[in-house]
Structure 1
């Protein structure tokens, strides 16, 4: 997240925990297509609070696609949203130049239009900030449910006159990033950015509603060490890893630098100096 990220095989039986549903204003054709593509049961028009058979709905309403916990008292929907909310506010107030992710990638040191590969894109928030600041961003999100949310959010944002130029710099790829990186070779991207799902250690990891929903369909990234290894072989200038502030570094070489925030930090693995212009 962050853009939580995900595993090819999230908690083993996630197909049994998720179904497709829609409100009366949700697109029935899109619901049917999602059901077929993801091999999920289509419940048709439902109220999420009334659903008992599954824990999470991939739910279509008048605002697009969202992920919604079912049952009474569940938190509100989670969706990839770039036009309004937090992303909209940042776009209207400088595009996120002061965000830690921009510093970690090195945008204060170079004016060059960097190609960033976001290997664990989640809902695409960090990728959108970097694209807002002029980066060309390639996104990978291997969990099919989260990929569908991100694809929907990008499609909706591309129809907005203010967001469209930013979305043009973002390209969402199919499949997992580890496989792609292993076949890509050196200099596949200027910067490779990793945001693996934080391990679930205590209740504090579930503060955000995004995490509550994502735990059902995603789980932890147990192969983050392999991803870091592959990234270090393919990045031109640096690899950046987002972690919970107190979490240990990913298994592998120690980062050369860290940028810390209140709840998270960025571990930086430099390869060579960034271009000046």
Structure 2
């Protein structure tokens, strides 16, 4: 388990989040985002605003740059900032060379010849899994409860929608900021979305041992903490999904408390617990 400052109940410890801009031309967008986030953050985060990047150590930073919105940390040993990027990097490589419908996530949601289900990603995070499914043709609805994560994802979706390589895919990924435990059914109804599959990937300590991944996940966990309401999330998903619920878990992690999965697809480091309600079939 990675070393993160966290209380025994899984909640992140208090941190200061500073919203700052790379250039003065970003100040209007910074001020707008500050107003958007003010009063909406979890209790462990205190929000402030700065004209330039602060030099004080151990601050969480939300940076507006020419390259997009980034989550970083102050200090000489700070990890690389986190940014959502769909048109290049890992997302682009996986879209082109990731294995298409042969990928385990595609099999888990029921993608096969003649079947392209509509999927609610109720724990969207930074949108990586949703982008894979959207690139394979799935209609998506994304929910993300954490306002900063939702802002990072929305920024990435806007930039992805402006790139001809990813525009069509990102436009199939509408995002709703909200807690799926409380508002999943409402979000689906208001979007007029057919929730054949609900996909869940609750926050869980990373098992990746590489130093950089450990640093980046530590930063993300400082912002978000761990999900401690998995059972409620699964119950809400089972209530809304018409055909199946898919839960991504570390390979050796226990199943979420509640009904047992119908079956499991297991990979080297992760697995998918599938809860079936009805068989998916071609239209």
Using the size of structure 2 for normalisation, the TM-score is 0.84
The match for 1:231 is 237
Shift of 1:10: 5.8
Asked whether the equivalents of residues 26 and 62 of structure 1 are also in contact (C-alpha less than 8 Å), the reply is no
Whose relative contact order is higher, 1 or 2, with alpha carbons under 8 Å and at least 6 apart? Answer: 1
CA deviation vs aligned residue, 1:177-222 (integer Å, no higher than 9, x gap): 122235468x95000000000157x895984443111111111111
Paired residues for 1:24-103 under 5 Å = 24=23, 27-39=26-38, 40-46=47-53, 50-52=55-57, 55-93=59-97, 96-103=100-107
Whether 1:162 aligns to 2:168 is no
Change (3 A) 1:205 1:222: farther
Change (3 A) 1:142 1:270: same
Q: Distance in 2 between matches of 1:160 and 1:228?
A: 35
Q: Distance in 1 between matches of 2:229 and 2:205?
A: 12
Give the secondary-structure state (helix, strand or coil) at the position aligned to 2:242. strand
Q: Distance in 2 between matches of 1:147 and 1:196?
A: 15
Give the secondary-structure state (helix, strand or coil) at the position aligned to 1:198. coil
Asked whether the equivalents of residues 122 and 199 of structure 2 are also in contact (C-alpha less than 8 Å), the reply is yes
- List gaps (5 residues or longer) in structure 1: 1-8
Give the secondary-structure state (helix, strand or coil) at the position aligned to 1:275. coil
Count of aligned pairs between the two proteins: 261
Shift of 1:111: 2.2
Using the size of structure 1 for normalisation, the TM-score is 0.86
Give the secondary-structure state (helix, strand or coil) at the position aligned to 1:170. coil
Change (3 A) 1:188 1:222: farther
